[in-house]
Amino acid sequence: MSTLVFLEHHEGDLQKDSLGVLGKAAQLGGDVAALIAGSGVEALAAQAGRFGAVKVYLADDPALEAPLPQPRVDVTADLVRRHGFETVLFGATVLTADVAAGLAARLDAGLNWDLIDLTEEDGKLIGKRPALDDTVYVDVGWKGEPRIALVRTGTFDPVESGGQAEIEQLEVRLEDFSTRAKMIEQAHEESEGPSIEDAEVIVAGGRGLGGPENFGLVEELAKALGGAVASTRAVVDAGWYPYATQVGQTGKTVSPRLYIAVGISGAVQHKVGMQGSNMIVAINKDPNAPIFEYADLGVVGDLNEIVPKLTELVRQRRAA
């Protein structure tokens, strides 16, 4: 089986989800190659080799500097056609979702998305995908080749194998229509501390906080722990906190060592985004909240009293 993994990068680093998918592809076996597309990205090729790529195709061109999907569709489609890759894998992000969809349309190929695992059975690639609000998992397949797949955020952790990849420079040829869109400005959200995708500790707040002003409690605890702040969909929909922090079925999937849920009821839509956490601690005044069914440690009480005391204890312990 020949597999191409699209590696997304940001600010000089390959993204964790892309490298996780690359590692999974290497575990499945066969010929595994990676594609890096951008401008000034040659230094990233060696990093891809350490995470399982036997060969890295490098599309390094000023025309690919802006993170626009259509030029990347051109590069990927040309590469797949020329080398006949049977499978093309993406870690799911806003950009790669557009690239994968465009690639499927360009090659008249099948696309499966939101996959949480990939296996090989009787020589066929099988994808595992949640269904019915993530209460069951179903097997999905492809009718033909190339098989295109988007893997859910946070599914696979990168595993460094220490290998070295052969690097091939690609000639970038873009369709006329792919050059018509121009990026005028790219905004960067200002934030402190790690992102929720990379954080070892996450403190998440829900509607039980009572209002956006009380997110300060969550922020202070996260700061004391050296962690990141997350939120639920209800909080984001109410305008209390940015969408970039949303964990759950329509947000991001995270797997920190410690996940502290403050004022979160624990609906299944939120559970699917954080159930991979190593340790889940829930703080809620409702003893019947669903989150207590799967939390490792539950604290029933007023979060306005519990969270400040917990924050102070953490600070004292760190100062000792």
Calculate the average pLDDT of the chain. Answer: 91
What's the pLDDT at 211?
93
* Dihedral in degrees, nearest 10, Cα atoms 15, 18, 20, 21: 180
- Please check the confidence at residue 279 and state whether its pLDDT lies above 80: yes
Helix (H) or strand (E) holding 138: strand 136-140
10 and 134 in a single domain? The answer is yes
Same domain, 131 and 235: no
**8 A C-beta contact, residue 31 and residue 84:** no
Residue 90: CB atoms within 10 Å: 27
If asked whether residues 171 and 207 sit together in one domain, one would say no
Domain CATH number, residue 66: 3.40.50.620
Domain boundary among 179, 214, 239: 179
Query: Domain containing 253 — which CATH number?
Result: 3.40.50.1220
120-124: long-range contacts, CB 8 A cutoff, minimum separation 24? 120/1, 120/28, 120/29
Angle, vertex CA 92, rays to CA 25 and CA 56, nearest 5: 45
The whole-number pLDDT of residue 192 equals 61
What is the torsion angle, in degrees rounded to the nearest 10, for the CA atoms of residue 88, residue 93, residue 98 and residue 104?
20
In a domain, 106, yes or no: yes
pLDDT at 68 over 80: yes
185 within a domain of the structure (yes/no): no
Residue 33 lies in a domain: yes
Same domain? 88 vs 228: no
Query: Domain for residue 84, yes or no?
Result: yes
CA 320 to CA 280: how far, in whole Å? 25
The Cα–Cα gap between 139 and 118 comes to 9
Would you state the pLDDT for residue 272? Answer: 84
Burial of 63 (0-12, 13-18, 19+ CB in 10 A): middle
Quick one: 77 and 163 in the same domain? Answer: yes
**d(C-alpha 271, C-alpha 294), whole Å:** 9
3-state secondary structure of 256: coil
Q: Are residues 284 and 173 in the same domain?
A: no
- Asked if the bond preceding 146 is cis, omega within 30° of 0, the reply is yes
Integer CA distances (angstroms), 28 to 22, 119, 146, 234, in order: 10, 7, 16, 38
In a domain, 287, yes or no: yes
Q: Structural domain tally of the chain?
A: 2
- 258-262/201-205 β-pairing: parallel
pLDDT, tens only, 239-276? 999 888 999 877 888 889 999 999 999 988 898 889 88
Give the integer Cα–Cα distance in Å for 35 and 53: 9
Question: Is residue 284 pLDDT above 80, yes or no?
Answer: yes
On whether both 55 and 13 belong to a single domain, the answer is: yes
Residue where one domain finishes, among candidates 146, 179, 212: 179
Q: Based on the fold, state whether residues 26 and 130 are members of the same structural domain.
A: yes
Q: Which domain holds residue 116?
A: 2-179
Give a yes or no: residue 192 inside a domain: no
Residue 149: the pLDDT is: 97
Q: Is residue 118 part of a domain?
A: yes
Both 27 and 65 in one domain: the answer is yes
**pLDDT tens-digit series, residues 159-210:** 888 778 889 999 999 999 998 888 888 766 555 667 888 889 999 999 999 9
Q: pLDDT tens across 208-243, in order?
A: 999 999 999 999 999 999 999 999 999 999 999 988
